[in-house]
Structure 1
Amino acid sequence: MSSAVRSSARLAGLARKAVPVSARGYATSIPARAHHQVVVVGAGTGGVTVAAQLLRARGSEKTDIAILDPAATHHYQPGWTLVGSGLKPLKDMSRPLDAVIPAGTQHYPLRVSSFDPENNAVKTAEGVDITYDYLVVAPGLETNFSGIAGLQDALQDPASLVSSIYSDKTVEQVWRNVQAFKEGEALFTQPAGIIKCAGAPQKIMWMALSQWKRDGVRDQIRPTFATGAPAMFAVPKYSQALEQLRQERGVDGLFQHNLVSVDAKNKVATFKNLADEGKEVQREYGFLHVVPPQKPWDWIAKSPLADAAGWVDVDKSTTQHTKYSNVFSLGDASSLPNSKTAAAISSQAPVLISNLVAAMRGEQGKASYDGYASCPLLTGHNELMLCEFKYGGVPKETFAGVFGGQEKPRRAFYHLKKDFFPLVYWNSFVKGTWFGPKGWSKPKSS
Structure 2
Amino acid sequence: MDGIVVIGGGSAGITVAARLRRAGRRDVTVVEPSDVHHYQPLWTLVGGGRAPLPASARPMRSVLPRGVRWVRSAAVGVDPLTRRVLLREGEIGYRHLVVCPGVRLDWHRLDGLADAVGHDGVSSNYTGPHAVEMWRFIREARTGSAVFAMPSGPIKCGGAPQKIAYLAADHWRERGVLGRMDVHLVLPGPAVFAVPEYAEVLEGVARRYGIHVHLGSEVVRVRPSAREVVVRGPDGDRPLPYDVAHLVPPQSAPDWLKTSPLAAPSGYLDVDPRTLRHVRYPDVFGLGDCAGTPNSKTGAAVRAQAPVVVANLLAAAEGRDLPASYDGYSSCPITTGRRTLLLAEFDYSGRPRSTVPFLDPVRERTDHNVVKRRVLPFLYWNLMLRGLV
Same fold (TM over 0.5): yes
Percent identity for Structure 1 against Structure 2: 39
Q: Secondary structure at the match of 1:305?
A: coil
Bigger-Rg structure (1/2): 1
Determine if contact 2:8/2:99 at 8 Å carries over to the other structure: yes
The answer to whether the aligner puts 1:129 opposite 2:85 as a matched pair is no
Following superposition, the deviation at residue 271 of structure 1 comes to 2.1
- How many angstroms does 1:147 deviate by? 1.4
C-alpha contact (below 8 Å) 1:311/1:334 kept by paired residues: yes
**Helix, strand or coil at the partner of 1:39:** strand
2:267 and 2:218 map into 1 onto residues whose CA distance is 21
State the partner residue of 2:161.
Answer: 201
Paired AA for residue 101 in structure 2: P
User: What residue is the counterpart of 1:67 in the other structure?
Assistant: 30
1:24-63 aligned at under 5 Å gives the runs 35-57=1-23, 61-63=24-26
Aligned ranges 1:290-439 → 2 under 5 Å = 290-399=247-356, 401-404=357-360, 406-434=361-389
Residue by residue over 1:78-114, the C-alpha shift from the partner in whole angstroms, topping out at 9 and shown as x without a partner, is: 0101111111110010111111111111111212111
For residues 187-336 of structure 1, what are the structure 2 equivalents within 5 Å? 187-273=147-233, 275-276=234-235, 279-336=236-293
Deviates more, 1:239-248 or 1:106-115: 239-248
Cα distance in structure 2, aligned partners of 1:119 and 1:300 = 16
1:268 positional shift? 0.9
Q: Deviations over 1:254-302 (max 9, x none)?
A: 11221122111210101222x35xx322111111111111111111111
SS of residue in 2 equivalent to 1:392: coil
Give the Cα–Cα distance (whole angstroms) in 2 for the partners of residues 398 and 109 of structure 1.
37
Is the contact between residue 10 and residue 102 of structure 2 (CA under 8 Å) also seen in structure 1?
yes
What SS is found at the alignment partner of 2:282?
coil
Structure 1 residue 62 displacement after superposition? 3.8
Q: Does structure 1 retain, via aligned residues, the 8 Å contact 2:38–2:58?
A: yes
Q: Does 1:92 align with 2:58?
A: no
Task: Please give the alpha-carbon distance, in whole angstroms, between the structure 1 residues aligned to 2:212 and 2:152.
Answer: 18
**SS of match in other structure, 1:282:** strand
Q: Give the partner amino acid of 1:53.
A: R
Aligned-partner Cα distance in 1 for 2:367–2:355: 13
Alignment length, in residue pairs?
A: 389
- Structure 1 distance, partners of 2:238, 2:181, is 21
CA distance in 2, matches of 1:295, 1:231: 23
Residue 232 of structure 1, CA deviation: 0.6
CA distance in structure 1 between the aligned counterparts of 2:159 and 2:113, rounded to whole angstroms? 21
Question: Partners of 1:220 and 1:313 in 2: how far apart?
Answer: 48
Compute the displacement of 1:335 (Å).
1.2
TM-score (normalizing by structure 2): 0.98
Provide the rounded CA distance (Å) in 2 between the counterparts of 1:200 and 1:419.
Answer: 18
Structure 2 unmatched ranges of 5 or more: none
Normalising by structure 1, what TM-score? 0.85
Q: Please state whether the residue corresponding to 2:26 is helix, strand or coil.
A: coil
Amino acid at match of 1:142: R
Q: CA deviation at 1:152?
A: 2.0
Instruction: For 2:376, give the aligned amino acid.
Output: F
Paired with 2:347 and 2:249, the residues of 1 have a C-alpha distance of 26
Per-residue deviation, residues 384-403 of structure 1 (Å, max 9, x unmatched): 0000001031211112x422
The secondary structure found in structure 2 opposite 1:393 is coil
* SS of residue in 1 equivalent to 2:354: coil
Tell me how large the CA RMSD over aligned residues is.
1.2
Distance in structure 1 (CA, Å) of the matches to 2:153 and 2:22 = 36
- Which stretches in structure 1 are left out of the alignment for 5+ residues? 1-34, 435-446
| Alpha-carbon shift at residue 164 of structure 1 (Å) | 0.6
1:109 is matched with 72
Q: Distance in 1 between matches of 2:118 and 2:202?
A: 32
Using the alignment, how far apart are the partners of 1:169 and 1:146 within structure 2? 18
Structure 1 residue 380: deviation in Å?
A: 0.3
In structure 1, how many angstroms separate the alpha carbons of the residues matched to 2:50 and 2:145? 24
Amino acid at match of 2:22: R
Partner of 2:107: 145
- Tell me which amino acid in the other structure corresponds to 2:366: R
Contact between 2:26 and 2:67, CA under 8 Å: does it hold in 1? Answer: no
CA deviation vs aligned residue, 1:313-342 (integer Å, no higher than 9, x gap): 111111111111110000000112100000
- Give structure 1 regions of 4+ aligned residues with deviation exceeding 3 angstroms: none
